[in-house]
Each structure stands twice: as C-alpha cells, then as structure tokens.
Structure 1
Amino acid sequence: MSSETQYTNVSVFTADGVLFDMDGTLTDSIAAVEAAWTAKAEELSLEPEEVIRATHGRRASDNLMELVPGLRKEHVEKEVEKFEKTILAFADTPPHSRKSSFASNRSPSMTNLSTRRSSLAPLTPATPASNTPDALRRTSIQSNIAETLNFTSYKLSKTTISEVAVEDESPFDEEEAEDIIDMSVRILPGVRKMINSLPEHKYAVATSGAKTYCHGCLNRTGITIPKVCVTADDSRLLRGKPFPDPFLLAASDLGIAPTRAVVFEDSPSGIKAGVASGATVIAVCTSHTRDKIENIGAHFIVDTMDQVKVEHLEDGQLRFTVSH
C-alpha cells in the first residue's frame, strides 16, 4: 500500500490498552505453520488443504485433540510442544531453490500435490547426523522439513520471494521465484512503529500459540516479549479462540476493562473472540482477504498497522487514529 493512498474515513477514539494477537498480526510465519500442518496431515492421511483451513487461528491443543485419534489429554501438552518446535524448525530452514527438480517435474496435469511431492528429490539435511539423542531428533525434524519443503512451495507468494531476492542482493527472476522456498518468521508492516509508540505497561499479547511458538516467533523478529503474554498453554485458560477467554485474561492481567481495550487480529476466529470480549477490534488483512473477515463484527478493517496511529495522552489514555 502506497504511503500516498487516500483513505475515505478517519476515526479517532481513546482506549486504555492494546491486546495483540501474534501470528498473522505481529509476525508472519504462515509458510512454516502450513508446512507443519501439511506434515501432520500427511502423517494422519488427511487432506492438507482442509487441515490448514480448519486449524487457522485456533489453539494447537484444540486442533490436535480433534485431529489425532486416541490422543489423551495428559499427552496434549507434550504433543503441542513437539509440534510447535517443528514450526520453528521449518522457519529456521534457509531458503532453497528447487529449480533443477521442481521445474522439470512441473506439469499442468499434475494436480495431485502428493504426487508432486513424491516426484521431487529430497533436500540434504543441513546438519550432519550423529548418534546422540539430540542430534537424532534434529535429523528427524530436518528430514521431515526436507520432505515437506517441496510440498509447500506453491503456498509462497511472489511478493515474499522478491523480498528474499532483494535481501540477498541477487537479481529477481520471476520464473525462478516459484522454486525458492523461504519460511522464515517476519515482522509485519507497521508493527515495530506501533509497539514503539506504546508504553510497556499498555499492551499485551494474547495468542492461540503456546509459549514455545509465541516466544520463538517474537524473538526471531526482535519483538520484546511483553510482561503480559497469554499463550494457549496458560493453565488459567479453559477455552481458546473463538471464545473471548484469552483476551479477557490478557485485559485482566493488564489491569484494564476489556471494553476499554483495542484488539488487533487477523483471523476470523480471533476477530470473533475480540468482539465477544467487548473490545474495539481492528482487523488486519494480513492473512485473509477483506471479504473473508469483513462481516464478523470488527469495528475497523485495515490493510496493515501502518493505517493506525497511537498517541499516549497525559491522562494515561491512548488516542487512536485509524485511516480506513
């Protein structure tokens, strides 16, 4: 979105604090998340597209309880931690080019993604194997990553790929773009400026990710983990999004009324949770197109946080100016 874009409306209001969702709102790790759910879907012989669609914006614990047959409640926490470490492992995998094998196997008739995946040669694990338990676990994760990288390449946009080319100072070849896979965690537009404009005691994170994933993403993007950070594995939470519980708990920990909070969200389930909490909800079109989130109850819909300005007033309130 150009800085010269003229918006039709400008709205100004005050609040006492901000509650951020994390992934898709502060950070973008969608490629790594979808790679991890793709691997899990394949493991369970499920359709990856359906699994990805059903799991977005919800707690991994809720998703795994629904997807994994016979998973016992006492084992959920360990399974969530293992799954979220897999996401971060995908995110830390350096970008690879699949030009030689992917291009040669691409065919208009190849609509079965499982067939496409099996037709490609696996990538070489980045770390040599050894016989220590930690090394064996790393090798296992890297093997799964290598296998799934090919399968998830079609998910990545040319915009993301072109950014990688710029960072590498290498010429951008649109034909080769589809063959570069980059799953690193990125900070989203306007986020750093937004956080820097807020006093530390005025904002919190309330995410459907557990602590491993949440802290991992924030650390990878240089976002300081706030003192109030409600994650999906918080023992006080009985329900996750789309129920309002995460935002209600975050507001309570922040010492503000939920009706005096501003929620930033990107997913339908998160928007519903924010609305149900009584907060003012600003939806960002970072993971879903506007038509997918415009009829869920959000008070404002913006393309990025660049359209929102926050000022800290002398009386302690926050004044928001939203261009939309």
Structure 2
Amino acid sequence: MSPEQPRTTLTARAVVFDMDGTLVDSTALVERIWTEWCGPLGLHPGEVLAFAHGRQTADTVRRFLPELDEEAVLRHVDALLSVEGEAPDGVVEIPGAAAFVAALPVQLVALVTSAPGNIARSRTAVAGVGLPAVVLASEDVPVGKPAPDGYLRAAELLGVEPGDVVVFEDAEAGLQAARASGAQVVVVGDHDGPASEGLTRVADYRGAAVELGDDGLLTITL
C-alpha cells in the first residue's frame, strides 16, 4: 500500500489471490503476446486486451474468433500459451507481495488464476513469490472468471465458508467472480470498473501485515 492511504483492517479465516496484476506484474509480456496475435488476424489489440485481462485464454479466443470450431480454438490457445511459457522475462513482483504471502499461514492461502499451472509456477518463480499449497489454474476450473467457480472451490479446499475469505483481485472479470462467490474482496491496483465500486483498495502490499489469532482468525492490516 502507498504511505498516504488510510489503514484498513479485515478479518478472515483464509486468503485467496489472483495472480497476474495481483501478485505479479506481467503486463508487458501479456500485451506483447496478444498484440502479436492480433496482427495477422486484423484484430484491435486494445479491444482484445481489455477483454482478456483476468480471463482464460480460450474464452478470449472464442470471443474474438467466434467462427472457429473448438479444435481451432484450442490450436490458437496452444500457440499463445507456448509463447507465454517460453518467455517469462518482464514479469516482476507486485511490491510487497512476496513478503505478504510468506507471512500468511500456508494452510490458509490459495491461488486462483486464469493462467495454466505451468505458467503460474513460472511467473511466480521469476517474480520471487511463493506458491501456496492450494493452486487452482485454468485446467482446474472448467468455467473461468467472471464465474465464481474458482473462488468457491478454493474456499471448499481451504475448509472455510466463502464469506470467511478475503480475495485479492485486480481485473473486472476476477472482481466479478470474487464478489459473486460471497467473499470479501480487495482491489489491487487502479482498476475502476463497476465491479470495483465500494471495495477496499490497495496499490500494493508494502506495509501489509497479518496476525493469526488463537481462534484461527486472521487479522489483516492493509
């Protein structure tokens, strides 16, 4: 968080993070990959990127190439993910993310990402952010964000009710998913879409702190 922001205290029994834009900043890499994909297809990169952020790759391909059958969609997805997996350069930690994740009890933390598991492992490793034991990647969640399925499944695996979870998210689709799950939601960054209205917001995790009470309740100060 930035020094000028007022301190906010939340209580929860578990914490769930999105990845891109929430724990790691992969903006430069993602923009390059989607822009290169758009070129030969005559698509507008700005429109594609505005939709793609926070969503599974296949959902974006289907949205902008609706004429494709599923086999063709998957060929595009495989090509895009191959480039992403081979080029982790430019991925950096959201300030304070590594220390904040490390301060949380590992058994009370999950990651829900629209990226495949291999890319989640690669990007967090490059950024120096530790992965929790519970990781739900795109292949683990058939219906991706903005549906709440991933966040509901994370709460189930952590053994808590969705309302006892704090979710950190940065994109419209992810914020919609988190809110629909019934979790408490914190916006990371400057996204100002409809789903961010009225939510707690942080620029990053600098200064964030957590305490675990004897009753298993987490007190998170942002």
Q: 1:227 to 1:76 in 2, by over 3 A?
A: farther
1:21 corresponds to: 18
TM-score (norm 2): 0.90
Where do residues 206-285 of structure 1 align in structure 2 (5 Å cutoff)? 206-234=112-140, 237-285=141-189
Alignment gaps of 5+ in structure 2: none
1:45 corresponds to: 42
Where do residues 1-324 of structure 1 align in structure 2 (5 Å cutoff)? 5-8=3-6, 10-68=7-65, 70-74=67-71, 76-77=73-74, 79-92=76-89, 184-234=90-140, 237-285=141-189, 289=190, 292-293=192-193, 296-297=196-197, 299-322=199-222
Question: Separation in 1 of the partners of 2:117 and 2:80?
Answer: 12
Q: 1:69 to 1:269 in 2, by over 3 A?
A: closer
Question: Separation in 1 of the partners of 2:202 and 2:119?
Answer: 26
Give 1:261 shift.
Answer: 0.3
Aligned pair count? Answer: 222
Question: Separation in 2 of the partners of 1:33 and 1:281?
Answer: 24
- Per-residue CA deviations over 1:109-166 (Å, capped at 9, x if unaligned) read xxxxxxxxxxxxxxxxxxxxxxxxxxxxxxxxxxxxxxxxxxxxxxxxxxxxxxxxxx
Judge which range, 36-45 or 63-72, deviates more: 63-72
Instruction: Give me the identity figure in percent.
Output: 35
Alignment gaps of 5+ in structure 1: 93-183
Is residue 294–residue 301 contact of structure 1 (8 Å, CA) maintained in 2? no
**Amino acid across the alignment from 1:252:** E
- Per-residue CA deviations over 1:80-112 (Å, capped at 9, x if unaligned) read 3431221243433xxxxxxxxxxxxxxxxxxxx
Q: For residue 139 of structure 2, give the secondary structure of its aligned residue in structure 1.
A: coil
Question: Separation in 2 of the partners of 1:24 and 1:53?
Answer: 13
- What is the RMSD computed on CA atoms of the aligned residues? 2.1
Is residue 147–residue 180 contact of structure 2 (8 Å, CA) maintained in 1? yes
Give 1:69 shift.
Answer: 5.0
Question: Separation in 2 of the partners of 1:299 and 1:33?
Answer: 26
Judge which range, 25-34 or 205-214, deviates more: 205-214
Q: 1:298 to 1:198 in 2, by over 3 A?
A: farther
Give 1:239 shift.
Answer: 1.9
Is residue 36–residue 90 contact of structure 1 (8 Å, CA) maintained in 2? no
Question: Separation in 2 of the partners of 1:238 and 1:192?
Answer: 28
Q: For residue 201 of structure 2, give the secondary structure of its aligned residue in structure 1.
A: strand
Question: Separation in 2 of the partners of 1:197 and 1:25?
Answer: 16
Give 1:66 shift.
Answer: 2.0
Q: 1:48 to 1:13 in 2, by over 3 A?
A: closer
Is residue 18–residue 262 contact of structure 1 (8 Å, CA) maintained in 2? yes
Is residue 172–residue 195 contact of structure 2 (8 Å, CA) maintained in 1? no
Is residue 35–residue 87 contact of structure 1 (8 Å, CA) maintained in 2? no
Give 1:238 shift.
Answer: 3.8
Is residue 148–residue 180 contact of structure 2 (8 Å, CA) maintained in 1? yes
Is residue 12–residue 320 contact of structure 1 (8 Å, CA) maintained in 2? yes
Question: Separation in 2 of the partners of 1:255 and 1:78?
Answer: 37
Question: Separation in 1 of the partners of 2:120 and 2:77?
Answer: 12
TM-score (norm 1): 0.63
Q: For residue 233 of structure 1, give the secondary structure of its aligned residue in structure 2.
A: helix
Q: For residue 196 of structure 2, give the secondary structure of its aligned residue in structure 1.
A: coil
